[in-house]
Amino acid sequence: MKNLSIRFKITLWFTVALSVVVFFTCFVVLYADHQIIQKTIRDSLIETVENNVDEVEFYINFNHTDFKEIDEYIAFHNGYLEIDDDFLDQVNEVYTALYYEDGTLLYGENPISRNTSQLQFTDSSIQRITVKDTIFYIFDRKLTSEGLDGLWLRGVVSEYQGAVHMSSITRLALLFLPLLVLISSMGGYLLARRMLRPIQEISDSASKIRTGGDLKKRIEIGSGKDELHQLAESFNKMFQRLEEEFEAERQFTSDASHELRTPVSVILAQCEFSLEVQRSSEEYENALCTIQRQGRKMSRLINDMLDFTRLEMRAESYIKESILMTELVETICFDMALIQEKDITLDYEAESNVYFNGNRQLLSRMLTNLISNAYRYGKEHGHIFVRLICTEGTMELSVTDDGIGIDPGEQDKIFRRFYQADPSHSGVGTGLGLSMVYEITQFHHGKIHVESEPGTGSKFTFLADCRDEFSNTL
Ligand code: ADP
């Protein structure tokens, strides 16, 4: 059963359920029909006999003027019986006969008179006897009109008449109902096939993607809003997401190897240069310095890459808590002000008691990256200013410098991985600092934007909602 297709299973269940319903309906209908027919037969028997009661009359004198050829006249006691021509001795398979009390047939017909000769007359009640497997209903009426004492009318009808009617209904039912079940099952099968076609298409597309590895493929099942279309849409969104993720991953791997290739090539070239022939001690020193510089660059790159992938892969495992941002900003700025690179001074201003619901490690990393860049791209004797404020539930953390600035055309690209806007400084950084900042702002559902002018300086601002359940300004 498990190996059967859903389409087949649905059709099978549908057919079984329909057959059961049809069977019971048939049973109920035939039973009800049988009861009605039997009642109709009995009613017709009673009605015929009752009608015949008034058609028998007794006369003492035979009056020739009343004589009608179509009536029957039978000598009876000291007079005669007149059986009116309206007396129906055989109508609609109902037989009526006139009897003496001792069971002797006087007039009329009874197809089972031999079997009923011993049957006691019972006034106005129906009796049932079986003759050769056929049930007969018998209805007796005692005649009470003047002169008719000792006479009975007996009506007889067989159930066979109803059975004929029933068997034609049964024949029809036996012919048409299986046909109906068959047609409905075929209809059900076609409907199930039609309805489940999108699932087949989803399965086909998924296996094409699996075997061909083409994540650009999408499930196409036309327009619609039912569950299957929603399922296909969810799958398509998932494929879209996977495609983007794989593309990003591919790009990252390619960028990373590209970035690592340069320092590795330089190190290898320096090694070959030093080992080729005997070099002067100054040349050896220069080569070692270059190797050390490139080695450091590689180390920074690898560390940044590890941090970046850790952030991407374990974003959910970074716990958020209520952080006193004022303290975090002041501590970082105090420490980084000690760098005193290029004689740059770092000032800061943090509004007191600013709380934010976030991850301490990531927020520290974001601010450190922004301040590091401000030093890296700052001018000699320049200034860096860090500011933290909270206005109307929005926290604003900005890092401003008066450094080299960023070209307007580059400003939306600098958050990309490995992107470095200024080639003259490309040896210093790794191109991953701002993309990490961007990821951290995303993690905190915040925004980062940059205002910059080449030659004048840059301002990076992180904006985030500090009104949620943990964040507040006391
Ligand atoms: P990098 O390691 O090269 O600094 P980032 O991702 O931190 O990488 O920054 C990307 C690029 O954005 C840098 O290469 C630089 O050109 C530019 N940039 C970042 N911060 C500043 C800044 N404060 N002033 C000028 N340019 C900046």
Ligand 1 centroid, distance to 420 Cα (angstroms) = 6
> Taking the CA of residue 223 as centre, how many other CA atoms within 13 Å lie in the half-sphere pointing to its CB?
0
Q: Using CA positions, which residue lies closest to atom 4 of ligand 1?
A: 429
From 303, 377, 398, give the residue whose CB has the most ligand 1 atoms within 8 Å, as the site to mutate: 377
Question: Given pLDDT bands bounded at 50, 70 and 90, which one contains residue 178?
Answer: confident
> Counting atoms of ligand 1 from 1, which one is nearest the CA of 430?
2
> Do residues 370 and 408 touch, judged by C-beta distance below 8 A?
no
First-last CA distance in the chain: 66
**Residues 32-42: tens digit of each pLDDT:** 878 888 888 89
Q: Which residues pair with 95 in a beta bridge?
A: 90, 156
Ligand 1 centroid, distance to 451 Cα (angstroms) = 13
Beta strands in 219-339 (DSSP E): 321-324
Q: Using CA positions, which residue lies closest to atom 23 of ligand 1?
A: 374
Q: What is the pTM of this model?
A: 0.56
Q: What is the DSSP letter of 403?
A: S
> Do residues 437 and 369 touch, judged by C-beta distance below 8 A?
yes
In the predicted model, what is the mean pLDDT of residues 287-304? 90
233: tokens are 């849409």
Ligand 1 centroid, distance to 234 Cα (angstroms) = 38
In this predicted structure, the answer to whether residue 472 has a pLDDT above a threshold of 60 is no
Strands 56-59 and 79-83: antiparallel
208: tokens are 């094409």
> Do residues 49 and 153 touch, judged by C-beta distance below 8 A?
yes
Beta strands in 151-275 (DSSP E): 151-158
Q: Using CA positions, which residue lies closest to atom 12 of ligand 1?
A: 414
Ligand 1 centroid, distance to 400 Cα (angstroms) = 13
Q: Which residues of 299-318 are buried (b: 16+ CB within 10 A; e: fewer)?
A: eebeebbebbeebeeeeeeb
Which residue in the block uniquely carries the two structure tokens 């005193």? 340
Distance of CA 343 to the CA centre of its chain: 65
Q: Comparing 267 with 162, which gets the higher pLDDT?
A: 267
User: What Rg, from alpha-carbon coordinates, does the chain have?
Assistant: 54
From 341, 372, 414, 453, give the residue whose CB has the most ligand 1 atoms within 8 Å, as the site to mutate: 414
Ligand 1 centroid, distance to 374 Cα (angstroms) = 8
Backbone angles phi, psi at 447, to 5 degrees: -135, 150
Which residues does a 6 A CB cutoff place in the pocket of ligand 1?
Answer: 373-374, 376-377, 401, 403-406, 414, 419-422, 429-435, 458
Q: For residue 127, what is the enclosing H or E element?
A: strand 126-131
Question: Given pLDDT bands bounded at 50, 70 and 90, which one contains residue 6?
Answer: confident
Distance of CA 219 to the CA centre of its chain: 17
Q: Which residues pair with 390 in a beta bridge?
A: 395
Ligand 1 centroid, distance to 418 Cα (angstroms) = 10
In the predicted model, what is the mean pLDDT of residues 144-165? 83
> Taking the CA of residue 54 as centre, how many other CA atoms within 13 Å lie in the half-sphere pointing to its CB?
5
**Residues 387-426: tens digit of each pLDDT:** 999 998 899 999 999 999 999 999 989 998 888 887 666 5
Which residue in the block uniquely carries the two structure tokens 């047939």? 105
**Residues 361-396: tens digit of each pLDDT:** 999 999 999 999 999 999 999 999 999 999 988 999
Distance of CA 225 to the CA centre of its chain: 11
- Residue type at 128? R
Ligand 1 centroid, distance to 445 Cα (angstroms) = 22
